[in-house]
């Protein structure tokens, strides 16, 4: 089997889907790995490391991908690159076919067997392939570091000859994978950390990291244990309690998301107005519209002395470790497709059957 990997071309994308470590494993599994020169530059993996790991370096994306049976990527390749893939090629990455009808159509027209990894069922067996979790961890970490950087305060308590500095009060909105990593990061920096979520089980998770659970009296668990959108009454109640609380908080990191929907708007303009000057909000949900009414994706604004940052590509800011984790996730998934150095699809395996795009009719196990 020929595996092709090209440089990522999306703006701000520094991660890579195959690292020298996973390249070596793919080669050991019998694959030929064709890698575009400069592939790992953004994530600090030099070409020589890929050569050492057994890759064939080629000069262009076309050379890497045109004859590939299996293409591994982070972001979906541009439409013109997809158009030059082999008929029936297999494509694995964070492909988001629903986000772009033209891309979905191009994949379908070429008979590409696409595995958008964000569709993986989040079962125990899939954890080693769960790119949403591995990348959210880096995003939560970076979001909190950006908050610490923007804040005009120390995070930790300091006792100095110039007097005592009180620790910053940090609130994390949404305690999924990113939120919990943000809490852990703020804690390590010495802040007083609180978090809240609409899933009640997050109380224990927040507390186990040394944070305090902020109880806003709203519980909203939906399908698959994920959060569901709040009803109007629930939202009003959450907002009333949160607005009061935010007056005492120095730093807010927002991470709330509901699968398949735009980010819930949780921090309103009025709440921001009520915050102390010098407070900072970093909205990790900016990518999907933001949890704060003032969030401008990719930008930082100031409102009444409060900074509101909506950084994008957070996981890419930690491209080296984010790539190491992503590439291991991808390798573990690719391993489901490789049998004795060739591609084989076991459609009885729900990790394949539920991830593949276009979705398979559930009653057709044969391929």
Query: Active-site residues: which are they?
Result: 122, 127, 130, 133, 226
Q: How far is the CB of 228 from ligand NAD (least distance, A)?
A: 8
Q: Which two tokens stand for residue 356?
A: 């593949």
Whether omega before 358 lies within 30 degrees of 0, making that bond cis, reads yes
Closest residue to ligand NAD, based on beta-carbon distance:
176
Q: How far is the CB of 301 from ligand NAD (least distance, A)?
A: 22
Q: How far is the CB of 141 from ligand NAD (least distance, A)?
A: 13
Q: For ligand NAD, give the closer residue by CB, 45 or 196.
A: 196
Q: Which two tokens stand for residue 216?
A: 């806003």
Give per-residue burial for 167-183: e unless 16+ CB within 10 Å, then b: bbbbbbbbbbbbbbbbb
Please classify residue 360 by burial: count the beta carbons closer than 10 Å to its beta carbon, then call 0-12 exposed, 13-18 middle and 19+ buried.
middle
Q: For ligand NAD, give the closer residue by CB, 4 or 176.
A: 176
Binding residues (CB under 6 A) for ligand NAD: these are 122-124, 126-127, 130, 132-133, 136, 173-179, 196-199, 225-227, 230, 255-259, 264, 266
Closest CA to 117 of 137, 97, 99: 97
Q: How far is the CB of 165 from ligand NAD (least distance, A)?
A: 30
Residue-wise DSSP of 224-293 = GG-B-PPPHHHHHHHHHHHHHHHTT-SEEEE----TTSPPP--B-HHHHHTSPTT-EEEEGGGGGT-SBT
- Torsion on CA atoms 83, 89, 95, 99, rounded to nearest 10: 50
Chain centroid to Cα 267, Å, comes to 22
User: Phi, psi at residue 61, to the nearest 5°?
Assistant: -60, -40
Q: For ligand NAD, give the closer residue by CB, 24 or 295.
A: 295
Closest CA to 357 of 79, 96, 77, 6: 96
């Amino acid at each position: 089997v020929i595996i092709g990997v090209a440089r990522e071309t999306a703006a701000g994308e520094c991660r890579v889907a195959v690292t020298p470590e996973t390249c070596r494993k793919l080669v050991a599994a019998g694959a030929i790995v064709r890698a575009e020169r400069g592939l790992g530059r953004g994530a600090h993996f030099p070409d020589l490391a890929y050569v050492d790991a057994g890759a064939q370096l080629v000069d262009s994306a076309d050379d890497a991908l045109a004859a590939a049976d299996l293409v591994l990527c982070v972001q979906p390749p541009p439409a013109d690159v997809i158009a030059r893939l082999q008929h029936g090629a297999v494509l694995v990455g964070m492909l988001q076919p629903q986000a772009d009808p033209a891309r979905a159509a191009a994949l379908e027209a070429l008979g590409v067997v696409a595995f958008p990894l964000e569709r993986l069922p989040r079962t125990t067996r899939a954890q080693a392939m769960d790119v949403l979790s591995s990348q959210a961890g880096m995003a939560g970490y970076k979001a909190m570091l950006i908050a610490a950087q923007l804040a005009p305060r120390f995070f930790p308590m300091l006792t100095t000859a110039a007097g005592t500095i009180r620790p910053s009060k940090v609130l994390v909105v949404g305690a999924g994978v990113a939120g919990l990593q943000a809490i852990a990061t703020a804690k390590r920096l010495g802040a007083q950390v609180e978090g809240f979520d609409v899933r009640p089980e997050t109380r224990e998770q927040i507390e186990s990291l040394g944070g305090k659970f902020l109880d806003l009296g709203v519980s909203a668990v939906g399908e698959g244990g994920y959060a569901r959108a709040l009803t109007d009454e629930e939202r009003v109640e959450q907002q009333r309690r949160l607005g009061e609380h935010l007056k005492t908080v120095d730093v807010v990191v927002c991470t709330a998301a509901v699968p398949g929907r735009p980010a819930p708007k949780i921090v309103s303009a009025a709440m921001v107005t009520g915050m102390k000057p010098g407070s900072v909000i970093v909205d990790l949900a900016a990518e999907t519209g933001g949890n704060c009414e003032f969030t401008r994706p990719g930008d930082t604004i100031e409102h009444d002395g409060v900074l509101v940052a909506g950084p994008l590509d957070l996981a890419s800011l930690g491209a080296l470790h984010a790539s190491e984790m992503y590439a291991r996730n991808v390798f573990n998934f690719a391993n489901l497709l490789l049998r004795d150095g060739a591609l084989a699809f076991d459609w009885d395996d729900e990790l394949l059957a539920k991830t593949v795009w276009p979705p398979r009719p559930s009653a057709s196990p044969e391929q």
